[in-house]
């Protein structure tokens, strides 16, 4: 439990198992497909177009109370006293909780303790929006009134929200006990740097001596939010016998269960968590916030409690991404060969330990075959919400910096930007900058495809520029448990434990239908609650379809073994003479060749007489998620008088391994690109001098609207992943990585200005254009 | 909270006048409900004016147009005569929020909300519109630029409400335009905006001009110097340059989450010039 | 305190009692069990709560429940005729125009209003017509295509 629970995220040990070092035993077993690669309708589709689908806030329990959370208005403040007596006395209030109602059950597990403290401040509020108390009341107006009656006596402390300010020697300390990890000797003085990590190989200093051209630049990116449209919501019900139920929108109900059970001091098996339909997550629903609080309220009130965050709460107090500050230095010879690459990355984590700079450091140069490379990452504490994952976490910022310098370097050498990258691209056998040796990979192929793409040759209009950039993401596999149950009519229930965020029920069903040899329509895929299956990791790291299809295929193979045995029993022949083809048991061998094949339906109908229900089960650690690469091309038009940019054409080229449901793969490519475009141009957390968030709403946190974007062209490449039976790679995340740099490169190509601060909002662009004009 | 939906202006005024606590007029609700939701206001009384028939009508009169206070911006955009006469005003009204918001929001509400960034207001100011106000002491008319007195503060007294916005008749050889700057293409609050209304003589020389800027001061500002810069010209390069300078000079903006002082000051000039060019064309200038 | 309101929802006469401060969205979701409209922001910025009132698309979060008196309201639950989907619903499915699906009811209501007012919109008109509806999953590409295709079907 401890080791699993500490992993708010599995990427922590990414270098060890995210990428295969050497492919010893490929399990790729199929390359011709009947179901996989088609585009059927998703099983959850009808409910979603008719309003019937139930999301986090759409579920209610009898006798349910409304839970609301009181949040700190201060960026950093000591909580001297909380007086809840008046709130408790208000008629209709059934429970008030503070940190005192969530005693520490984490047993020295620092990561879980951080989560506990983040769910409810313990003595110190560490960011604007940090929860300090919560109430459950009969209705929302009463709960709101009760919040106003809670008196919190704060002593405001100095705060720091800016990444570069936080690392200065005299910066206010976010956590006065934080001694930087990863430096020798271990420091004695506390700082806001939680951890230093270093990756790389070769001799960087010697490498730079061989360079004809060196480009050095510093970059900054502002904090962004996943911006899922559905705010966090849950209904919790704890019974006096110590059992509980939680209905919640989450990317990982098993992880939520484990975390909530630990924080509440419950047995894992006594808390049953059901994941609702999820209205977007993108990494932001991989972490508990209000759920343990809802359970604590329910426990105290002995009634079900529903907690729904407002949009403002989502922005102030869920888990946005890091703000970053990055220095990059790359040197190359005149022939275009990179001789050394070096980067220092500082990423904000919020007030708690994180691994965001580490992920940035690992991904920064992953696209290239480098002899001398070094990346150093610093995890920086600030008085902002606890950072959570956001689609390929940390890779977009690192790629923005590196891919911008790559373009500048190509320009200085006089080489085409695509050719320069092709020359230096990683390939099978390349030792990645973060350690492992690559298997078959797609970076070269996406670059070659970009070079040939008609987009590259299309004419540009006035004030338009074209840019390109590459992106990388590890992908992840992880713990997966899947069941297949054959019904008496031969229809198949496929039960998975990975939450479906974008169509994975359809994709996994396609793989199982393929393996069983039955039509897609015969397989119904459902996401089960935590009482039904063994532990499943979250849907993150682009693992949903990759891992659950792998487990599903293995479960199907186990079911086929049973089906063959049952057919053998029906025929009364040895099982060795029964094969499985096209959804039928077939008897083979001279003696039995005249037996008519038995369909799955016929075998299922007879199951009661041949040994009972037919099922297949599989539990795996889905190792070998193939790494993913993409190349994007962006055409950007800038109004030179206002600095306003518009994306006029956009193309995504990415390796999918095998596209199980191509329409949904395209959807991932397009959605990731759109998020990257928003990040590049307008999205940012804006903090005031008082450390309070100024734009906690969709009005001023500006995600792209429909009229902001063009159609987004996609090209799916398929370079099979040898570690998946059908060659599948994760496809969900990589597409958010290249847009920041692709757009910056387009602006540079159009106007000769190098944008080094994201978002490239109109005031920043106009300022850069005017500075360039003066120069 | 008490909700009332009277059917006459008199009844509405009566309710507002005798209200004891905080009383709010509800037209489209796109500002009021947001403020209620955020806990910024807790009304004791809300008076919905959408069931007052005359307030739901656009009337074309000899002296121009009378737009009822409860007419939605979508309805304004569907009134062909109004679109033809005051394209700048209608476009400005059409920029407020989304299609969903357009179905409900009103220019009278936009005006009373008194945001310096209100989209419809610079266009109304440039057009020389007037607010028709009803109150316990009878009617009064106020030029729209005098309705807002500061961010979120309007000149209405207790019991008063705007019953309609009056636009003058469209004169010969005249035209108006409104432009705003937002980072996205839709859904943002104006970072800076400009409304321009011009009249030309037969030779295309500007004889009358009104230039108003939004989001560059505590209220929308009517910039006399900007008008002066183009009167007597055919909006040539030199006149445009002077117009831009006058617009920038009139800016007293703030740095905030939506834009900087520097940015707003520069872009005010750009928008004033571009809006003037459109208005000039609409007036028949070449 | 509570006010009795009589209105028509999806063609049926509906009476409900609500507090005057409650939004139409609260009434639909919490009192009438119509949870198809979603609260994404509560401030009219995301369009997830879009419904039609007297033939115009509005954000249910920006309208009071009491304002519904005598109005004609249509929600996503009333979009299909029996088991027959509205062409927009079919085309959203066919074009994979939804991923998480939480914005979908709002998009369907907004697109329906758009096509009722403009049966043959250009891509630009569709994009601006749907600008009040945020989608964070799709990048809008497949949504725009689905609306284009549905418009074609509806034109016959």
Contact between residue C139 and residue A735 where contact means Cβ atoms under 8 Å apart = no
Q: Are C21 and C67 within one domain?
A: yes
Q: Is B180 on the interface with A (CB under 8 A)?
A: no
Contact B38/C58, CB-based, under 8 Å? no
Q: What whole-number distance in Å separates Cα of residue A77 and Cα of residue A123?
A: 9
Between chain B and chain C, the number of residue pairs with CB atoms below 8 A apart is: 86
- Domain-located, residue B139: yes
Q: How far is A555 from chain C (nearest CA, A)?
A: 26
Q: For strand B153-154 and strand B161-168, is the pairing parallel, antiparallel, or unpaired?
A: unpaired
- Is the CB of C102 less than 8 angstroms away from the CB of A706? no
What distance in Å separates the CA atoms of residue A56 and residue A277, rounded to the nearest whole number? 7
At A18 the pLDDT is 43
Q: 3-class DSSP state for residue C117?
A: helix
Q: How confident is the model at residue C45 (pLDDT cuts 50, 70, 90)?
A: very high
Pair B155, B194 in one domain: no
Task: Answer yes or no: do B237 and B192 share one domain.
Answer: yes
Q: Nearest residue of A to residue B192 by CA position?
A: A642
Distances from the Cα of A146 to the Cα of A85, A117, C47, angstroms = 10, 23, 30
Question: At residue A696, what are phi and psi to the nearest 5 degrees?
Answer: -85, 60
**DSSP letter for each residue of A722-773:** TTSTT-----SSGGGSSHHHHHHHHHHHHHS----EES--HHHHHHHHHHHH
Other C-beta atoms closer than 10 Å to the C-beta of A453 total 18
- Domain count of chain C? 2
Shared domain check, B161 and B136: yes
Asked whether residue C82 is assigned to any structural domain, the reply reads: no
CATH number of the domain enclosing B107:
3.30.465.10
Last residue of a domain, one of C46, C75, C104: C75
Please give the CATH topology (third level) of the domain spanning A477-621: Aldehyde Oxidoreductase; domain 4 (3.30.365)
C41 — contact with chain A (CB < 8 Å)? yes
- Residue A98 contacts residue A82 (beta carbons within 8 Å): yes
Domain-embedded: residue C80: no
What pLDDT was estimated at residue B282? 98
Measure CA of the first residue to CA of the last residue in chain A; give whole Å: 60
Query: B158 and B194 share a domain?
Result: no
Q: Which domain holds residue C28?
A: 3-75
Asked if B266 has any chain A CB less than 8 Å from its own CB, the reply is yes
The answer to whether residues A263 and A115 touch, using CB atoms and an 8 Å cutoff, is yes
Cis peptide before A343 (omega within 30 of 0): no
Name the H helices within B128-210: none
Q: Do the chains contact at A667 and C102, CB–CB below 8 Å?
A: no
Residue spans of chain A under pLDDT 50: 1-24
Could you tell me which residues come within 8 angstroms of residue A573 by beta carbon, excluding any fewer than 6 positions away? Answer: A587, A591, A592, A595
Cβ separation A705–B185 shorter than 8 A: yes
Same domain, B163 and B62: yes
Interface test with B, best of A70, A144, A641, A682 (most B CBs within 10 A): A641
CATH number at residue B269: 3.30.390.50
Specify the pLDDT at position A28: 87
Q: Are residues C35 and C69 in the same domain?
A: yes
Task: Give domain status of residue B4, yes or no.
Answer: no
In the numeric block, which tokens belong to residue A219? Answer: 């970059």
Q: Is residue B262 part of a domain?
A: yes
Is there a domain that residue B217 lies in?
yes
DSSP letters for B222-235: E-HHHHHHHTTS--
| B142 and B236 assigned to the same domain | no
Asked if A57-157+243-301 and A477-621 have one fold, the answer is no
Examine residue B45 and state whether it is found in any structural domain, yes or no: no
Question: In A589-710, which ranges are continuous DSSP H helix?
Answer: 600-605, 607-610, 662-681
C49 contact A CB<8A: no
Q: Do C99 and A226 touch (CB under 8 A)?
A: no
Q: Count the helix, strand and coil residues of chain B and give each as a percent rounded to the nearest 5.
A: 35, 25, 35
Instruction: Answer yes or no: do C95 and C147 share one domain.
Output: yes
Q: How far apart are alpha carbons A345 and A236 in whole angstroms?
A: 40
C-alpha A56/C-alpha A323 separation (Å) is: 29
Counting the structural domains of chain B, the total is 2
Q: Which of B112, B145, B168 is the last residue of a domain?
A: B168
| Angle at A384 (CA atoms; ends A381, A388), nearest 5 degrees | 85
Return the CATH architecture of domain A57-157+243-301: Alpha-Beta Complex (3.90)
Query: Which has more confidence, A17 or B89?
Result: B89
- Positive or negative CA dihedral for A305, A258, A286, A248? negative
- How far is the alpha carbon of A326 from chain C, nearest alpha carbon, in Å? 27
User: pLDDT (tens digit, 9 = 90+) per residue, A609-663?
Assistant: 999 999 999 999 999 999 999 999 999 999 999 999 999 999 999 999 999 999 9
* pLDDT at residue B129, rounded to an integer: 98
Chain B: give the shortest CA distance to residue C71, in Å.
Answer: 12
**Shortest Cα distance from C9 to chain A (angstroms)?**
15
The per-residue pLDDT for A25 is 62
- Residue B2: in which H helix or E strand, if any? strand B2-4
Q: Are residues C7 and C71 in the same domain?
A: yes
Residue C50 maps to a domain? yes
Task: Enter the pTM of the model.
Answer: 0.97
Contacts of A309 in chain B (CB under 8 A): none
Q: How far apart are the C-alpha atoms of A383 and A74, rounded to whole Å?
A: 10
Q: What pLDDT score was predicted for residue B286?
A: 87
How far is C-alpha A477 from the geometric centre of its chain's CA atoms?
13
Calculate mean pLDDT across residues C76-84. Answer: 95
Q: Are B120 and B148 in contact (CB under 8 A)?
A: no
Residue C81 lies inside a defined structural domain of this protein: no
Sheet holding B174-181, edge to edge: B174-181, B192-200, B206-214, B221-222
DSSP class of residue A125?
E
Interface check for A709 against chain C (CB to CB < 8 A): the answer is yes
Domain of residue B263: give its range.
179-282
**C50 and C107 within one domain:** no
B90, A366, A313: which is closest to C42 by C-alpha?
A313
The domain ranges of chain A are 57-157+243-301, 324-475+626-774, 477-621
User: How is A340-354 classified by DSSP, letter by letter?
Assistant: EEEEEEEEEEEBS--
Using the Cβ of C103 and the Cβ atoms of chain A, whether some distance falls under 8 Å is answered with: yes
Are residue C55 and residue C92 in the same domain, yes or no? no
Interface membership of B263 toward A (CB under 8 Å): yes
In a domain, B105, yes or no: yes
d(CA A594, CA A589): 9
CATH class of the domain defined by A324-475+626-774: alpha beta
In angstroms, rounded to a whole number, what is the distance separating the alpha carbons of residues A559 and A546?
20
Residues in a beta bridge with B64: B61, B168
Asked if the Cβ–Cβ distance from A50 to C77 is below 8 Å, we say: yes
Q: Note whether C65 contacts B: Cβ–Cβ < 8 A.
A: no
Task: Look at C93 and A42 and tell me if their CB atoms are within 8 Å.
Answer: yes
**Same domain membership, residue B196 and residue B110:** no
- Subunits with at least 3 CB pairs below 8 A relative to chain C? A, B
CB–CB of C99 and A277 under 8 A? no
- Picking from B168, B197, B214, the residue at the C-terminal end of a domain is B168
Q: What's residue A27's pLDDT? A: 84
Please enumerate, as own/partner, the contacts of A577-581 that have beta carbons within 8 Å and a separation of 24 or more. Answer: A580/A517, A581/A517
Which residue is closest to A689 within chain B, CA to CA? B256
Q: Using one digit for the tens of pLDDT, what is the confidence trace for C62-71?
A: 999 999 999 9
Q: What CATH number does residue C120 fall under?
A: 1.10.150.120
């Amino acid at each position: 439990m401890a080791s699993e629970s500490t992993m708010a995220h599995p990427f922590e040990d990414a270098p060890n198992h995210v990428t295969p070092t050497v492919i010893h035993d490929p399990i790729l077993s199929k390359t011709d497909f009947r179901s996989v690669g088609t585009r059927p309708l998703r099983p959850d589709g009808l409910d979603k177009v008719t309003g019937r689908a139930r999301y986090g806030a759409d579920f209610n329990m009898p006798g349910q109370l409304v839970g609301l959370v009181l949040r700190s208005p201060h960026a950093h403040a000591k909580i001297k006293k909380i007086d809840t007596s008046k709130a408790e006395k208000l008629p209709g209030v059934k429970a008030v909780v503070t940190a005192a109602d969530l005693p520490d059950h984490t047993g020295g597990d620092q990561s879980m303790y951080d989560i506990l403290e983040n769910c409810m401040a313990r003595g110190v509020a560490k960011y604007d929006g940090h929860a300090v108390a919560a109430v459950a009341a009969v209705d929302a107006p009463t709960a709101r009134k009760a919040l106003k009656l809670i008196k919190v006596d704060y002593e405001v402390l100095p705060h720091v929200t800016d990444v570069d300010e936080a690392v200065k020697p005299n910066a206010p300390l976010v956590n006065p006990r934080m001694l930087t990890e990863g430096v020798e000797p271990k420091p004695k003085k506390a700082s806001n740097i939680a951890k230093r990590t270093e990756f790389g190989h070769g001799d960087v200093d010697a490498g730079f001596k061989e360079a004809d051209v060196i480009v050095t630049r510093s970059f900054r990116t502002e904090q962004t939010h996943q911006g899922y449209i559905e705010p966090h919501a849950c209904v919790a019900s704890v019974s006096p016998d110590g059992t509980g139920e939680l209905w919640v929108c989450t990317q990982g109900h098993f992880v939520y269960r484990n975390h909530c059970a630990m924080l509440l001091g419950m047995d894992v098996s006594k808390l049953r968590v059901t994941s609702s339909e999820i209205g977007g997550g993108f990494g932001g629903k991989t972490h508990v916030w209000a759920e343990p609080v809802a359970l604590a309220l329910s426990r105290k009130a002995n009634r079900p409690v529903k907690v729904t965050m407002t949009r403002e709460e989502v922005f102030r107090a869920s888990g946005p991404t890091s703000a970053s500050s990055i220095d990059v230095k790359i040197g190359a010879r005149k022939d275009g060969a990179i001789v050394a690459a070096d980067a220092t990355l500082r990423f904000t984590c919020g007030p708690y330990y994180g691994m965001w700079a580490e992920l940035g450091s690992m991904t920064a140069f992953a696209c290239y075959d480098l002899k001398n490379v070094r990346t150093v990452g610093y995890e920086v504490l600030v008085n902002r919400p606890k950072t959570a994952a956001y689609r390929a976490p940390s890779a977009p910022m690192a790629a923005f910096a590196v891919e911008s310098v790559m373009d500048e370097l190509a320009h200085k050498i006089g080489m085409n930007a695509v050719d320069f990258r092709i020359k230096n691209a990683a390939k099978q056998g390349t030792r990645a900058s973060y350690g492992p040796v690559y298997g078959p990979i797609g970076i070269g192929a996406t670059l070659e495809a970009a070079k040939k793409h008609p987009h590259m040759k299309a004419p540009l209009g006035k004030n338009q520029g074209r840019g390109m950039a590459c992106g990388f993401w590890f992908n992840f596999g992880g713990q997966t448990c899947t069941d297949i149950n054959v019904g008496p009519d031969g229809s198949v229930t496929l039960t998975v434990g990975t939450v479906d965020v974008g169509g994975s029920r359809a994709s996994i069903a396609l793989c199982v239908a393929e393996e069983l040899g039955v039509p897609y329509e015969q397989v119904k895929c459902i996401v089960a609650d935590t009482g039904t299956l063994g532990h499943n990791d979250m849907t993150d790291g682009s693992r949903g379809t990759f891992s659950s299809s792998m487990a599903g295929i293995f479960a199907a193979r186990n079911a086929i073994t049973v089906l063959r045995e049952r057919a053998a029993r029906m025929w009364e022949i040895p099982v060795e003479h029964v094969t499985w083809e096209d959804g039928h048991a077939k008897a083979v061998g001279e003696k039995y060749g005249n037996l008519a094949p038995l369909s799955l339906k016929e075998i299922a109908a007879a199951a009661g007489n041949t040994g009972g229900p037919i099922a297949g089960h599989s539990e795996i650690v889905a190792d070998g998620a193939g790494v993913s690469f993409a190349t994007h091309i962006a055409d950007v038009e800038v109004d030179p008088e206002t600095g306003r940019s518009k994306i006029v054409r956009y193309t995504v080229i990415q390796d999918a391994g095998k596209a199980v449901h191509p329409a949904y793969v395209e959807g991932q490519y397009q959605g990731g690109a759109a998020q990257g475009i928003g990040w590049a141009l307008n999205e940012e957390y804006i903090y005031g001098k008082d450390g309070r968030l100024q734009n906690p709403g969709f009005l001023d946190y500006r995600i792209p609207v429909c009229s902001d974007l063009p159609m987004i062209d996609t090209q799916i490449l398929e370079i099979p992943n040898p570690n998946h039976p059908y060659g599948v790679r994760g496809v969900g995340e990589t597409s958010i990585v290249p847009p920041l740099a692709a757009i910056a490169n387009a602006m540079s190509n159009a106007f000769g200005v190098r944008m080094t601060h994201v978002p490239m909002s109109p005031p920043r662009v106009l300022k850069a254009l005017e500075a360039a004009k003066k120069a | 909270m008490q909700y009332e939906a009277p059917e006459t202006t008199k009844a509405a005024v009566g309710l507002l006048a005798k209200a004891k606590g905080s009383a709010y007029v509800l037209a489209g609700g796109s500002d009021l409900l947001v403020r209620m939701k955020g806990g910024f206001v807790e009304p004791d009384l809300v008076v919905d004016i959408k069931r007052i028939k005359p307030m739901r009508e656009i009337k074309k009169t000899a002296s121009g147009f009378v737009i009822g206070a409860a007419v939605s911006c979508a309805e304004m955009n569907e009134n062909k005569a109004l679109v033809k006469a005051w394209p700048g005003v209608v476009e400005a009204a059409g920029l407020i929020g989304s299609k969903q918001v357009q179905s409900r929001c009103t220019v009278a509400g936009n005006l009373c909300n008194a945001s310096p960034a209100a989209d419809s207001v610079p266009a109304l100011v440039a057009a020389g519109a007037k607010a028709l106000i009803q109150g316990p002491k009878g009617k009064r008319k106020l030029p729209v630029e005098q309705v807002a007195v500061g961010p979120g503060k309007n000149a209405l007294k207790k019991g008063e409400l705007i019953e309609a916005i009056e636009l003058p008749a469209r004169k010969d050889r005249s035209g108006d335009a409104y432009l705003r700057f937002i980072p996205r293409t839709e859904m943002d609050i104006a970072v800076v905006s400009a409304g321009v209304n011009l009249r030309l003589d037969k030779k295309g020389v500007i004889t009358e001009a009104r230039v108003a800027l939004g989001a560059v001061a505590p209220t929308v500002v009517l910039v006399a110097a900007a008008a002066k810069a183009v009167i007597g010209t055919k909006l040539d390069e030199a006149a445009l340059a002077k117009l831009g300078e006058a617009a920038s000079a009139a800016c007293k903006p703030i740095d905030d989450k939506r834009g900087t002082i520097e940015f707003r000051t520069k872009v005010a000039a750009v928008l004033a010039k571009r809006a003037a060019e459109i208005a000039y064309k609409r007036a028949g200038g070449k | 305190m509570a006010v009795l309101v009589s209105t028509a929802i999806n063609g049926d006469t509906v009476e409900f009692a609500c507090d005057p401060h409650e939004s139409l969205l609260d009434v639909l979701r919490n009192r009438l069990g119509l949870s198809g409209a979603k609260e994404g922001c509560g401030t009219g910025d995301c369009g997830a709560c879009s419904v039609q009132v007297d033939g115009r698309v509005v954000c249910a979060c920006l309208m009071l429940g009491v304002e519904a008196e005598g109005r004609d309201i249509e929600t996503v639950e009333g979009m299909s005729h029996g088991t027959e989907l509205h062409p927009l619903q079919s085309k959203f499915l066919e074009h994979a125009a939804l991923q998480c699906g939480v914005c979908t009811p709002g998009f369907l209501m907004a697109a329906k209003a758009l096509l009722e007012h403009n049966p043959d919109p250009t891509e630009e008109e569709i994009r601006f017509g749907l600008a009040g509806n945020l989608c964070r999953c799709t990048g809008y590409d497949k949504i725009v295509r689905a609306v284009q295709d549905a418009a074609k079907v509806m034109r016959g």
